[in-house]
Amino acid sequence: MKFYTKYLTFNTKKHREYINITEEVHEALFASGIKEGMILVSAMHITAGVYINDAENGIIADIDEWAEKLAPFKENYNHHRTGETNGDSHLKSLLVHHQVIIPVTAGELDFGPWQQVYYAEFDGQRRKRVIVKVMGE
């Protein structure tokens, strides 16, 4: 079995942002030379996430509204007693999860129709990373 690792770096302009990283994941697969296996894509920060969904502006807005409704910004999170003010960002990360696994078949990302990989930033405007780990033969 072979392994290939690539790190993606982000420094978003907005506090919350959703970035399509499908092309970067595909480039890592191509660079790896792996034809059969899987790819782990994982946010390396606890206020960010990675998910798979449609690359359609309406669903992205819906995801953002849903996350804000379930984990709204507010002043009185217990986490804020530590001096932080990003308790909602931690909770939003839990909603979309921090990683995905993508099957690789015949050297391609084996997606269903419309599926794309997204990086979800919930506490942005600072440097963060995502690891892309390709595994297989």
pLDDT in tens, 27-81: 999 999 999 999 999 999 999 999 999 999 999 999 999 999 999 999 999 999 9
pLDDT in tens, 79-88: 999 999 999 9
User: What CATH number does the domain containing 118 carry?
Assistant: 2.60.120.460
Q: In total, how many domains does the chain have? A: 1
pLDDT in tens, 67-77: 999 999 999 99
| DSSP type of residue 38 | E
Average pLDDT over every residue of 98-119:
97
Residue corresponding to tokens 């033969």: 137
pTM of the entire structure? 0.95
Domain range holding 101? 2-136
Please give the structure tokens belonging to residue 110: 């084996």
Average pLDDT over every residue of 3-26:
97
- Helix extents (H) in 6-128: 22-32, 57-70, 87-96
Q: Classify 80 as helix, strand or coil.
A: helix
End-to-end CA, the chain? 5
pLDDT of residue 137: 98
Count of CB atoms situated within 10 Å of the CB of 133: 18
